[in-house]
Structure 1
Amino acid sequence: MENHMEEVALQLRDWSKMPTEILEQVCKRLTIPDQAAFIAVCKTWLSANTSKKASHWIPDAPWIVSNNYTSAQFQAISTTNNQAYNIYKPFNPLRNTYILGSSKGWLILKSDQNLFILNLFSKLRLDLPPLRTTPCSGGDCFGIHKPIVFTIDTCPNMNPTSVAVVTYKGDLGWCKVGDTTWKGYHTNDEFYSNVAFYDNKLYAVERDGLKVNIFKYDQGVLIKIGSVESTNPNEHIPDLSIPMCFINMSVYLVECGGKVFVVKRFSDNTKRNTPTRNFTIFAVEENCTTPQLVKVESLDDHILFVAGLNIECLDAKYCPKFQRDNVYFICYYEKSHRAEVKMFSVADRTIHKTLLNSTNMPTPSPIWMIPRFPFECVCEVCTSAPWFRPRELKKRLMLRKTNVA
């Protein structure tokens, strides 16, 4: 009897035999670094972490990621625990490979004449069509150092399905993941600065930020279904006490709380390092009697994260170390190879420094990245995609323990 009780006690202390349902509930509440430790315990815990996980949100604030093309590793900081990580690159060659941006947990990288998207934690890589197939109004649309904006559309389980880009000449292109060529949309009087997917539609804002065109994509063709313009262009210009000819303006598009926002960032060219002076935000109101861009005075419980030409929006409940109704933006000073994070308050329109200005800030050109894993998905969109191979995806997920150094 005593031996039997000892065996029962040993089984109760065997954490590997904890019910899978309990392990899954625990795991979906863990941040990325904690999940890396979680799956290292035993095979049972690893299995619980990779099964039925597709619809689970990872409660982690955005990371700050940088790519030094001379290094074999990405440099990253988790803003949740303020820890720095080196994450090995799963591709060659290391040189001449640049991060162009981040969208919905995926990095987009350019290497020579190739583009691909990469999930930093699973190392899942999806190749995009060659740059030479990109529609262009004339000349080379993708110079090595030329800015390019992109956005990713995803299935309900956050796996990528489509990618849209804006070239530095303002042309619009898009493709489905697995396509071999880019498809384009261009007119002689429309030049775009940013794009965003939302509600099965593609939104593209023109360079002055005063007009947003809306597209549906059907059978490989972009169809323009409407546009929304500003009825008061003067309210788009903030009072900066200096002439607009000395101001740089960057225009962004982002889905935030069920709406699409046009966000404008104004930087002062008269000062060293061109510091950011102000932001203005407008909602794309397309379903009212007179579609128009309406000025936004509050983000409510949301936060915007801006870096370079990229923008992300998150609910403040997932970012406990960040304050709601604020824009957090990264300033990179190329001459001194230094970066810092500042905060713009939408309520009182003031700019403040943050506690993220640490000496271990990754450089060069750090960007925000939402930490997410891709998971095996059986939705109709994913299973019909030519890149979808469940066994390969599962194998990559099993390797993720070794990916965070």
Structure 2
Amino acid sequence: MASWEELPQEILELIARRLDIEEFLAFGGVCTSWRSAATNDKYNAKSKAPWIMTYVCRQIAEFSRPSTGRIYPMRVPGSDAQTLSVPGWILALRGDSDYRIFNPLSRVSIELPALEKLHHESRVSEELDRLKRPRHGPPMISMMALSSSPSLSRSYTVMISCITSPGLAFHRSGEDAWTVVSLATDLRRFTVLGLIYYDGLFVAVDAHGQILTLNERKHRMELRLVLGLSYVDGDPYLVECLGSLLVAWMIWGEGDEPVKKIRVFEVDLEKGTEEEVKSLGNASLFLNNYSWFSVEFKPKSCLPGIKPNHIYFTDYTDRKKKSYSMNDGKVETYFESCLPGIKPNRICISKYEDEKMKSYYMEDEKLKTYFDATSSHFNEAEWFQPDF
């Protein structure tokens, strides 16, 4: 009888493609032949179930799988971290402006050029930037898009939106500097609210509802269309879903009321048109503050706790993770806490003398340390799609 390690390579690869991410990683650790069938480029699960990432403290992030409750703590190369729209990647910040992109599964870590190296196309822009920096502080990245996964391709482009000057910039792999992106002369100055790579183009949406794309050769953003909604109507999110480019508008309630509705529009960049979408079919959207993605429910796939034709998001008025049903427009709480591990019947307190967060157990009156908060802080929990 032949051993398991002698199974034909094509059979092993077929098995590997049917596994979820946890099983795929375990599969590759069995033996040499199984490892060769479970390389990063061969991972193509039928349904890539989303996880939740929370940056905890001291360069530790927790990745939790909602369907099983398992939590995987992992060291990240920075004192802060946020998810990216490209599956599997996070942006890590060390110090004030030392950024890296990092993949927790492949452990690939790529240092980005210093923001001080932003390439300016004229001495005038250099002088303006020099004058602005003392007033606004060093440039900080608010959101980022990648043309492809650096784990799978050596040729990729990174585009960023900065909170302060210069606004937009891009960086090609193999180069050691950023290139500043300008606006076409007939465009209004804008604040980027969404950034994504779609169908070979970097696409942005701004506060005025303008959809713009990057002309990489000319180093400038060009207008494609102006949407019917703007920032006063709600917050826009750019998402690729089932091959289409969508804009999901999160409509807030009056004053400080929670989200009451989410409207979705399909955008045609070539025609310069938008059309409202009433159903996502077998897909769902996941919206973070600075990243967003979709998950397709393929035949016979199962994502426990996640439903198709829903939008999962964080309602920042009450800090709850919620779901919006495209079927009936209902908004429901997905889970209450943004701090994984906190359980009911506990009182959570901060002890300032030792800078530790602790929980008081009502049933046995015991006080236990939940985490050591020295020189650290919690971030909001974010949806994360594990991939290579």
User: Is the shorter-chain TM-score for this pair beyond 0.5, marking a shared fold?
Assistant: yes
Task: Return the match for 1:365 from 364, 367, 380.
Answer: 380
Task: Return the match for 1:111 from 78, 91, 94.
Answer: 94
Alignment of 1:143-182 (within 5 A): 148-154=142-148, 159=153, 161-169=156-164, 171-182=167-178
Aligned to 1:227: 224
Alignment of 1:200-349 (within 5 A): 200-208=200-208, 210-218=209-217, 221-224=218-221, 226-230=223-227, 232-233=228-229, 249-268=234-253, 270-271=255-256, 275-288=258-271, 291-317=272-298, 320-321=303-304, 322-331=306-315, 340-349=320-329
CA deviation profile, 1:6-27 (whole Å, cap 9, x unmatched): xxx4xx3x32222222211111
Q: What amino acid sits opposite 2:200 in the alignment?
A: N
Call closer, same or farther: CA 1:84–1:155 in 2, change over 3 Å: closer
> Is the 2:83–2:89 contact (alpha carbons within 8 Å) kept by the matching residues of 1?
no
Aligned to 1:82: 69
Please tell me the root mean square deviation across aligned C-alpha atoms, in Å: 3.3
Local SS of the residue matching 2:386 = coil
Task: Return the match for 2:104 from 117, 120, 129.
Answer: 120
How many residues in Structure 1 have an aligned counterpart in Structure 2?
A: 332
Local SS of the residue matching 1:16 = helix
**TM-score, scaled relative to structure 1:** 0.71
Gap regions ≥5 residues in structure 2 = 343-377
> Is the 2:88–2:105 contact (alpha carbons within 8 Å) kept by the matching residues of 1?
no
How far residue 168 of structure 1 moved from its aligned partner, in angstroms, is 2.0
Local SS of the residue matching 1:314 = strand
> Is the 2:17–2:42 contact (alpha carbons within 8 Å) kept by the matching residues of 1?
no
Aligned to 2:332: 352
> Is the 1:100–1:149 contact (alpha carbons within 8 Å) kept by the matching residues of 2?
no
Call closer, same or farther: CA 1:156–1:176 in 2, change over 3 Å: closer
How far residue 354 of structure 1 moved from its aligned partner, in angstroms, is 2.8
CA deviation profile, 1:252-299 (whole Å, cap 9, x unmatched): 21222222222222445844xx633332222222333xx233222222
Of structures 1 and 2, the one with the larger relative CO (CA 8 A, separation 6+) is 1
- Partners of 1:147 and 1:343 in 2: CA distance: 28
- Partners of 2:267 and 2:147 in 1: CA distance: 19
- Partners of 2:175 and 2:113 in 1: CA distance: 6
Task: Return the match for 2:54 from 56, 62, 66.
Answer: 66
Return 324-333 or 133-142, whichever deviates more.
133-142
**TM-score, scaled relative to structure 2:** 0.74
Q: What amino acid sits opposite 1:128 in the alignment?
A: L
Q: Aligned residues: percent identity?
A: 20
> Is the 1:98–1:111 contact (alpha carbons within 8 Å) kept by the matching residues of 2?
no
Call closer, same or farther: CA 1:356–1:280 in 2, change over 3 Å: same
How far residue 148 of structure 1 moved from its aligned partner, in angstroms, is 0.4
> Is the 1:102–1:368 contact (alpha carbons within 8 Å) kept by the matching residues of 2?
no
- Partners of 1:23 and 1:155 in 2: CA distance: 24
How far residue 61 of structure 1 moved from its aligned partner, in angstroms, is 0.6
Which structure has the highest helix share of the two?
Answer: 1
Q: What amino acid sits opposite 1:63 in the alignment?
A: W
